[in-house]
Structure 1
Amino acid sequence: MTNPTPWWRDAVIYQIYPRSWADGNGDGVGDLPGITARLPYLAELGVDAVWLSPFYVSPQADAGYDVADYRDIDPVFGSLSDADALIARAHQLGLRVIVDLVPNHTSDEHAWFQAALAAGPGSLERDRYIFRDGDGADGALPPNDWSSVFGGGAWTRIREADGRPGQWYLHLFDVKQPDLNWENPQVRSEFEDILRFWLDRGVDGFRVDVAHGLVKAKGLPDWSGPMNMLDLPDPTQRPPMWDQDGVHEIYRSWRAVLDGYNPRDAEGYDSARDRVMCAEAWVDPPERLARYVRPDEFHQAFNFDYLNAPWQADSLRATIAASLAADDAVGAPTTWVLSNHDVVRHASRLGLPVGTARPNGIGADDTQPDQELGARRARAASTIMLALPGGAYIYQGEELGLPEHTALPDEVRQDPTFARTAGAELGRDGCRIPMTWEKDSPAYGFNDTGRTWLPQPTEFADLAVDQQVGVAASSLELYRRLLTERRDRGIGGGSLTWADVDPDVLSFTIRGTTGEQTTMLANLSAASVTIPPGHEVLVDSDPDGDGTQVAPDTAVWLRRTS
């Protein structure tokens, strides 16, 4: 029997950062058994699936995004049997499991790269990566002027087996993350096999890291512009390392692999069994991003335009409208996200002055967010996001209102960005702090030893899960109400109609798949606004809301009474 709406079109997916979710063995680093033990919490929260950041064998130079073996689990996280147990338990609880895949680069400790170093220039082993002779006298200069996303240059020169200075290899990220050569058919075949390995173990899909970066422009031309496509002054420009047309052929082949596990032309096809892919593609404009979610490519792509939109009604309205229009044109759902493991948490980001460029980390010496304002706006932002049609992603702890850790000592920072920029960019550690489960337990319940790979701020204590469960005014209970109403009213699969209201008020109505209408009204002005006549409040982001007014920086869901 075919389900009318594939599960992924309106799914709410919860991101788990394995190092920081729950630590089962007390060594200070989260692990798979810890995750498995805490999965009932997510089932009760009301999400549809979990996405796990990388847990593969890795030297952890970039917290697991430097993979040395794609078919095994790093001992710090557990074992393959632990992964199997996690997948089985999730499925028992009605949760799907999406795992991270990192195809742009491997670790320099991957067997392939070690073989490339040993084999020498011109070898088949080196052709799996992007090695080039240097420029200038004796090849002493890098092959082009590309920069690393993490700071510094994107090329490193090796010493050949005989000790002489040799070729250079490309690494768009850390020096320990050499880029693969996706023009090599062996690379393409290997990753199709990796997909099958995890699909055979029961995973429900993949979040694909740096999905816009696999193919580089022919000739590797120089590029001195911004490395983030969303920062380009001219969005029609495309840096030679990002969003090249050749990536789409790769993803069409991957989609065929996934669809092979649930053939659409087979008798008994059921869309509930679809295996899916979501693209991490920092691509602009929306029409260009929509190319990744054409019917034979990705199912979803992260909407970073929405994440980056300033806290202004007109900006949010324009971003939402443009995103929906671009994805509707290719028949894809739009996916919404506010926080993840790579960006300052929105409970802190929204506490900065409107128009502030999104920082790459916040330190003790930086302008500090207004915590109360940030928390208030974060609740409203989540109320807006979960009212939008399509899919949504929740980053671990955002349902608790966790802020960024903005006072981490330099000596504990581990993000390679911090080291590669000599501290000019603080990096992402502040959003990766271990979860808080129990206020009065060691490490706030992260484990029973009190050890944590990054220190937890004291303000996390009052935001612990056990301090919010059953507390009507808490951030956690707000998320639970939003997710319950979203599901019961069919909001994720609904259609959106804009309301004509004050320019500083964002409002739209969703006709859900149940036939019910839900109006979202967010007040981004400086004065309270009155709830429209003939409506009553279903959910209010303001714990002090009185049901008649919407205070500044708050949002409500309404239903008609007449």
Structure 2
Amino acid sequence: MTSLAPVVTARNDQEAWWRDAVIYQIYPRSFADSDGDGLGDLPGITSHMDHLAALGVDAIWLSPFYPSPQVDAGYDVADYFDVAPEYGTLADFDVMVAAARAVGIRVVVDVVPNHSSDQHAWFRAALAAGPGSPERDRYIFRHNPDGPPNNWGSLFGGSAWTRVEPLTGRPEDRDWWYLHLFAAEQPDFNWDHPEVREMFRDFLRFWATRGVDGFRVDVAHGLVKAPGLPDDALGADRWRGFAVDEDGASVPKTADNGPMFDQPGVHEIYRDWRRVLSAIRPDILLVAEAWVDPPEHMARYVREDEMSQAFNFDYLKSAWRAADLRQVIDTSMEANAAVGAPTTWVLSNHDVVRHATRFGYPPGSEPDGGIGAEDPQPDAALGLRRARAATLFALGLPGGMYMFQGEELGLPEHTTMDDSARQDPAWLRTDKQTRGRDGCRVPLPWAVDAPACGFNTTGLSWLPQPEGWDGYAPAAQETDPDSTLAMYRRAIATRREWRLGRGEIQWLEGLPGQVLAVRNGEVIVVTNTGDEELQLPLAGTVLVQSWNGEMGDRADTVVVPANATVWLAAS
């Protein structure tokens, strides 16, 4: 057996709840709709708190529910201190938090600090005030008569700069531009401005005082830009993940995170936030959404005086190959151990193709820009089989686990959505070259043979649900001991019973190359990523398995089917 490097940094947060928490992401507009308008809402979440309690999660994380024009599904925030009317009221939020508390579930909310909506009062004031005004200094405005101030591209496609004059109609705004790393309706804040910093301190205090237990920080690596705003090596094609040369050929992405990401100044911001939150409660979670390479850079975000956790996107992006997965596990755990931080595991979220679909493609060819009806379609059965195995392996590792709503049901991506129904701004801004994220955001099914599959009682749905969606509903899985929902419940309960999230792993060597096998305390976690059944010389009693069928008794060898995971009690 080989063991990972031990933690070398002592910390005072070793007993914090989030170190081994299973946290369930809720995308509010797609979770449950209580009033029948086709959009999910806070009372809808409250109404299904029993499902979350039975699943066994430790916390829920809500994507934005703040007032917003919904250009980017709420990530264009117009008011950081209220609830969007379509989602409910602050009173509804308080009721939801109380309902979660009553069943032992904590609440985490999104904070969107890189940009606001163009309908935020500050940006409207900035446009009204004119060039050189204090109001405009809260955002990033630049004057350049020769075109955009630099070659930065929006992550949704096109330039990251928009002209001001067409918005104001004033001659003095000619040749002025404002920066937006995402949609034009999402202007970037200027984090050198003290009022921006103070507004977000107020935001943290406001929601923490209402009982929030943590904050997921959107685009955590993007708040601070390189001095002078120099050109980007990828230019306007950063959304592709590669550049395009003058002949139209793709040029591979470099390891550089770009002049708009992972700048040293972001860390001072999070040290400040940690001081603010520690003054309220010392165990409030901060988790970074930061797409950063290499792992050592990611580890800087989770030093004790900054963030609590960062999403392990390298794990999410890994192909279904044992060697690839092991490398990601080793490098991420070693980098985090150097700063005494736990590692998180995540396989799906609201920005990526669901892993039940992603794993239905040959390893290394997984799609990452959405899937349409004209695109190659996945092997749905194989994708779900691998997804169950991948989830069960991740739950057997120490650290935190993040889940995306519906994955406990085995929900796949909606891969045949009519293009006319798409609402993701990436679809239009890339001139319909990337399908976008709508396929993973389809409203959940809750019931069989019901309007909108039980999402509401009217049948309205802001995105169309595919045919047969109600077959994934909890009501269709409750009585099936082999269902994906049953496996998730069993795995989460067993994980807690054996304290796997607080454990340490040792790799088991001498096994076939397609096998991942670790010992975590008294539990052996084994995954066969290959396409053939294997008989392995491992002893133990089956605790949880990812495939259908009776669980075996204690034995000196274990048979692991293709694309499957099993947990064995080794003692």
Shift of 1:536: 2.1
Shift of 1:105: 0.2
Shift of 1:200: 1.0
Contact 1:229 1:284 in 2 (8 A): no
Alignment of 1:387 onto 2:396 = yes
1:105 to 100, 115, 125: 115
Amino acid at match of 1:257: V
Q: Are the structure 2 counterparts of residues 391 and 444 from structure 1 closer, same or farther at C-alpha, using a change threshold of 3 Å? A: same
**Aligned partners of 1:526 and 1:349: how far apart in 2?**
17
Aligned to 2:170: 162
**Deviation sequence 1:48-78 (CA, Å, 0-9, x none):** 0000000000000000000000001111101
Q: Secondary structure at the match of 2:177?
A: strand
Aligned to 1:514: none
**Aligned partners of 2:368 and 2:499: how far apart in 1?**
36
Q: Secondary structure at the match of 2:500?
A: coil
1:260 to 263, 279, 293: 279
Q: Are the structure 2 counterparts of residues 400 and 285 from structure 1 closer, same or farther at C-alpha, using a change threshold of 3 Å? A: same
Aligned to 1:65: 75
1:535 to 536, 540, 543: 540
**Aligned partners of 1:347 and 1:468: how far apart in 2?**
17
2:100 to 75, 90, 99: 90
Alignment of 1:213-224 (within 5 A): 213-224=222-233
Aligned to 1:153: 159
Aligned to 1:244: 263
Aligned to 2:8: none
Contact 2:67 2:85 in 1 (8 A): yes
1:281 to 276, 290, 294: 290
Shift of 1:161: 5.4
Q: Secondary structure at the match of 2:75?
A: coil
Shift of 1:521: 0.6
Shift of 1:545: 6.3
Aligned to 2:530: 525
Could you tell me which runs of 5 or more consecutive residues in structure 2 were left unpaired when the two chains were aligned: 1-11, 244-251, 553-557
Amino acid at match of 1:534: A
**Deviation sequence 1:327-371 (CA, Å, 0-9, x none):** 000000000000000000000000011111532100000000000
**Aligned partners of 2:52 and 2:374: how far apart in 1?**
36
Alignment of 1:493 onto 2:502 = yes
**Aligned partners of 2:353 and 2:439: how far apart in 1?**
7
**Aligned partners of 1:166 and 1:60: how far apart in 2?**
28
Q: CA RMSD in A?
A: 1.6
**Aligned partners of 1:228 and 1:390: how far apart in 2?**
31
Aligned to 1:28: 38
**Aligned partners of 1:32 and 1:502: how far apart in 2?**
48
Q: How many residues align?
A: 541
Q: Are the structure 2 counterparts of residues 261 and 231 from structure 1 closer, same or farther at C-alpha, using a change threshold of 3 Å? A: farther
**Aligned partners of 2:366 and 2:380: how far apart in 1?**
18
Aligned to 1:121: 131
**Deviation sequence 1:512-546 (CA, Å, 0-9, x none):** xxxxx111110012321114343221111011366
**Aligned partners of 1:221 and 1:57: how far apart in 2?**
34
Q: Secondary structure at the match of 2:524?
A: strand
Shift of 1:460: 1.6
| Identical columns (%) | 56
**Deviation sequence 1:81-137 (CA, Å, 0-9, x none):** 11111111111111000000000000000000001001111111000000000242x
Normalised by the length of structure 2, the TM-score is 0.92
Amino acid at match of 2:384: A
Q: Secondary structure at the match of 1:239?
A: coil
Q: Secondary structure at the match of 1:40?
A: helix
Once the two structures are overlaid, the 10-residue window that deviates more, 229-238 or 284-293, is 229-238
**Aligned partners of 2:367 and 2:205: how far apart in 1?**
38
Alignment of 1:424-435 (within 5 A): 424-435=433-444
**Aligned partners of 1:230 and 1:298: how far apart in 2?**
26
Normalised by the length of structure 1, the TM-score is 0.94
Q: Are the structure 2 counterparts of residues 229 and 212 from structure 1 closer, same or farther at C-alpha, using a change threshold of 3 Å? A: farther
Shift of 1:227: 3.1
1:330 to 327, 332, 339: 339
Q: Secondary structure at the match of 1:506?
A: strand
Aligned to 1:80: 90
Amino acid at match of 1:312: R
